[in-house]
Amino acid sequence: MIVRPKPNLIGILTSLKGSIAKRIAWRALMVTLLASVIVLVEMSHPSYFSKVSATPFTLLGLSLSIFMSFRNNACYDRWYEARKAWGDMLVEIRSMARETQVIKDEVERNSLLRKLCGFAHALNARLRQENEQAASGAWLDPMPVDNAGDLCGRILMQAGQQCSTLAESGVINEWRHMLMANHLTRLTQVQAVCERIKNTPLPFPYTLLLHRTIYLFCILLPFAMAEPLGWLTPVFTAIVSYTFFGLDAIADELEDPFGRDENQLPIDALVRTIERDVLAAMGETTLPPPLMPVDYVLS
């Protein structure tokens, strides 16, 4: 995720970090070169373009803009829902750390808290299709056997069993056991929300239709502008293609908010925050530093 002060006018015009321009540069350049070729043809054979009207492109551009705004809003909703889910995880783990203060056995309490941190690491790796056991192993002792392919669920199951054992032995009362079980249930809900977003992309035909229409619009637009605008046609074509290709590429990034692109969620930084909270609750005084943006990018 890009974290930087609001740029001034020069920064707006020159900044590339976080900009979508790098991803769409070749596409926009090819369309601009095509527009230049079309202008050359129009100057050599103006009769070919005498009956080309810009009216259909005006209507198509307006409709395309509306459809693209719907898709971008849907993709942003996915991004923001994922961020809210990780915010909920932070709340639930902090609440669990507060509830476990009644556990006097330091080893038992630390074991439970470390499971919660291991869950955060495992879910982060799961959403990014990385090795869950390698990511969470340092926090889990012993490591759950991932027979069902859901290490995150196994970790929460072990944490729930540990809470039940504490309740049966009288270390915590039933009321507190119920509160802790509710926190674990909400962590399961966070996992389900994140997996739903990860495993359910936007309908492919809808995305494909927009991709095709954008390319057709940007390729055909110079034919309508060549006669009235002349050599200004490549300039306006570049601006339109930058806008449409850029919006399309931004939606592609936001559709899966759990990746490692510059504009996706800083899940590593959120996991580090959970680490610090858990270690502080365990009484540790030397905490790992919070992750900071590197060249304006917070991972």
pLDDT, tens digit (0-9, with 9 covering 90-100), for 112-122 = 999 999 999 99
Q: State the Cα angle at 233 between 232 and 237, rounded to 5°.
A: 120
Could you give the CA distance from residue 103 to residue 101 in angstroms, rounded to a whole number?
A: 5
How many whole angstroms separate alpha carbon 112 and alpha carbon 7?
45
Contacts within 8 Å (CB) and 24+ apart, 56-64: 56/224, 57/217, 57/220, 57/221, 57/224, 60/213, 60/217, 61/217, 61/240, 64/210, 64/213, 64/214, 64/217, 64/244
Question: Is 57's pLDDT higher than 80?
Answer: no
Least confident among 89-93, 116-120, 135-139? 135-139
How far is the C-alpha of 132 from the C-alpha of 124, rounded, in Å? Answer: 8
User: Looking at residue 14, what is its pLDDT?
Assistant: 63
Mean pLDDT across 194-218: 89
Q: Find, among 289, 254, 284, the residue nearest to 268 by Cα.
A: 289
pLDDT tens, position by position, 217-238: 888 888 888 888 888 889 999 9
Q: pTM above the 0.75 mark?
A: yes
From start to end of the chain, where are the E strands?
none
Single-letter residue type at 146: D
Specify the DSSP class assigned to residue 169.
Answer: T
Over the stretch 260-289, which tens digit does the pLDDT of each residue have?
888 888 999 999 999 999 999 998 888 999
Which of 34-43, 90-99, 136-145 is the least confident region? Answer: 136-145
Burial 180-213 (b: 16+ CB within 10 A, else e): beebbebbbebbebbeebbeeeeeeeebeebeeb
Tokens of 63: 């409709």
Please tell me the number of Cα atoms within 13 Å of 174 on its side-chain side.
0
pLDDT number for residue 115: 94
